[in-house]
């Protein structure tokens, strides 16, 4: 598919369904993978792409990227799997004028601890424990490439009782 909307933005879209070389033993059904991608150019010159998918083995995911005329860009990725793990990350570069750039990003997620998983000599024997994390960072660079400012923060819980909240 491809088209143009009422604002003059152009886009293209593709879809694909694929039978995987695997069978669900419980149901006898063929496992599937479904994915798609879409891209376009806006009237203002911004370029963008998206891709997404869902899979009977691995779960679901998506990615989006934008590039603006001034060089500002960002990328986002998210997903989840059949075990219940979830994540999202976004990062990019902002053009702030006078040659100054800012690199930034964040990511967060949660992961179910598996029975039998080990950390620091301790073995998890309980269902339902979850590891969580959030990170964000920012670096500002002068027009000659010198680092002018940096900031980062990380917050998390490893599901084994260790928690952290770090800033630097």
What pLDDT was estimated at residue 87? 94
What pLDDT was estimated at residue 26? 86
Residue 52's nearest CA partner among 39, 36, 32, 68 is: 36
Burial (CB count within 10 angstroms: exposed 0-12, middle 13-18, buried 19+), residue 49: middle
What pLDDT was estimated at residue 136? 96
What pLDDT was estimated at residue 31? 85
CA 140 and chain centroid, separation: 22
Cβ neighbors of 150 (< 8 A, separation 6 or more) are: 137, 138, 139, 140, 168
What pLDDT was estimated at residue 48? 94
Q: What are phi and psi of 159, to 5 degrees?
A: 80, -10
DSSP string, 16-78: EEEEEEEE-TTT-PEEEEEEEEEEEE-TTS-EEEEEEEEETTTEEEEEEEEE-TTS-EEEEEE
> What is the spatial distance between Cα 126 and Cα 117, in angstroms, rounded to a whole number?
10
What pLDDT was estimated at residue 55? 87
Q: How many CA atoms lie within 13 A of 148 on its CB side?
A: 12
What pLDDT was estimated at residue 5? 84
What pLDDT was estimated at residue 73? 96
The per-residue pLDDT string of the chain (168 residues; one tens digit each, 9 = 90 and over) reads 888 888 888 889 888 888 888 888 888 888 889 999 999 999 889 999 999 999 888 899 999 999 999 999 999 999 998 888 999 999 999 999 899 999 999 999 999 888 888 888 888 888 888 999 999 999 999 999 999 999 999 999 988 888 999 998
What pLDDT was estimated at residue 23? 86
């Amino acid at each position: 598919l491809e088209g143009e909307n009422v604002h003059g933005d152009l886009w293209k879209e593709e879809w694909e369904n694929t039978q995987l070389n695997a069978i669900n033993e419980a149901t006898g059904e063929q496992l599937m993978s479904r994915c798609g991608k879409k891209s376009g150019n806006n009237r203002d010159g911004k370029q963008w792409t998206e891709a997404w998918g869902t899979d009977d083995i691995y779960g679901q995911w998506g990615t989006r990227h934008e590039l603006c005329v001034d060089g500002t860009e960002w990328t986002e990725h998210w997903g989840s799997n059949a075990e219940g793990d979830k994540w999202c990350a976004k990062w990019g570069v902002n053009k702030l004028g006078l040659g100054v750039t800012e690199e930034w990003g964040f990511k967060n997620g949660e992961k179910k601890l598996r029975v039998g998983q080990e950390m620091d000599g301790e073995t998890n024997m309980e269902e339902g424990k979850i590891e969580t994390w959030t990170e964000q960072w920012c670096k500002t660079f002068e027009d000659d490439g010198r680092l002018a400012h940096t900031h980062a923060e990380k917050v998390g819980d490893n599901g084994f009782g260790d928690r952290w909240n770090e800033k630097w």
